[in-house]
């Protein structure tokens, strides 16, 4: 976890040793790592998506993580979800003022057609632009990946003849990359989407492909500087999510 030492209080190498003792801990100001979760899902999947991502974020056994829940104001919700948002979610400008160490953009349910017609297009792209300069790392999932590729690189998603829907095995393309090092050779990931961005387009924009399937294409791509991690599938899904 991040340690911030007050002036003239930083320990020597001998003091630090291999662990933090009480003397060092008493001089350290410790704050959690702030991870923003931008939930753009509709009512039916809103709380489930929140739970799924928080479960993944909270599975880290060492780091102290503070999730900051964010929902675009331009997406309208029924009374139940609106009440939930008022109780647990943070306005975007407040999250920006506090600062975030990382940010995750969920997928969303959007009709086929121009993405800029999506109610939260401007809200999300403005937040993505802010994150590029103010956040260490950004993760985009499914539609959020298509939004950032369109907004930042002018790459259009391609409507598929059939919906990409099911659980697919994916091969690790570069097992030396730190994001996938020591992972299994085959990773099964759920997909649920009508649109796709091809491997060629990711590569053309300078991104590295880390995981893909020969039938449904790229699952995981990352920018060269690690600041942008893009998913086209849904590794956060519960075991029953596709069935529902």
- What residues are annotated to the active site? 142, 234, 236
Q: Exposed, middle or buried by CB within 10 Å (0-12, 13-18, 19+), for 27? A: middle
Estimate the crossing angle of helix 79-88 against helix 43-57, to 10 degrees.
30
Alpha helices per DSSP H over 75-231: 79-88, 92-98, 121-134, 143-153, 199-204
- Rounded Cα distance between 127 and 142, Å, is 17
Residues 6+ apart with CB under 8 A from 227: 132, 136, 137, 138
């Amino acid at each position: 976890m991040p340690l911030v030492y007050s002036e003239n209080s930083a320990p020597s190498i001998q003091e630090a040793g291999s662990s933090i003792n009480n003397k060092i801990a008493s001089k350290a100001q410790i704050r959690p790592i702030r991870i923003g979760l931008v939930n753009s899902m509709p009512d039916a999947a809103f709380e489930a998506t929140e739970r799924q991502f928080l479960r993944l974020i909270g599975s880290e056994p060492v780091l102290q993580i503070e999730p900051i829940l964010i929902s675009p104001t331009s997406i309208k919700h029924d009374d139940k979800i609106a009440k939930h948002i008022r109780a647990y979610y943070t306005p975007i400008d407040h999250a920006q003022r506090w600062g975030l160490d990382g940010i995750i953009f969920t997928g969303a349910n959007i009709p086929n057609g121009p993405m800029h017609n999506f109610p939260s297009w401007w809200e999300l792209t403005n937040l993505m632009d802010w994150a590029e300069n103010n956040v260490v790392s950004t993760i985009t999932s499914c539609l959020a990946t298509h939004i950032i590729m369109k907004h930042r690189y002018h790459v259009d998603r391609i409507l598929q003849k059939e919906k990409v829907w099911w659980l697919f095995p994916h091969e690790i393309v570069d097992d030396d990359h730190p994001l996938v090092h020591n992972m299994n050779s085959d990773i099964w990931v759920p997909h649920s989407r009508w649109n796709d961005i091809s491997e060629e387009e990711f590569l053309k924009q300078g991104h590295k492909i880390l995981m893909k399937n020969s039938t449904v294409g790229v699952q995981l791509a990352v920018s060269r500087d690690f600041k942008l991690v893009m998913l086209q599938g849904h590794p956060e899904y519960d075991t029953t999510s596709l069935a529902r």
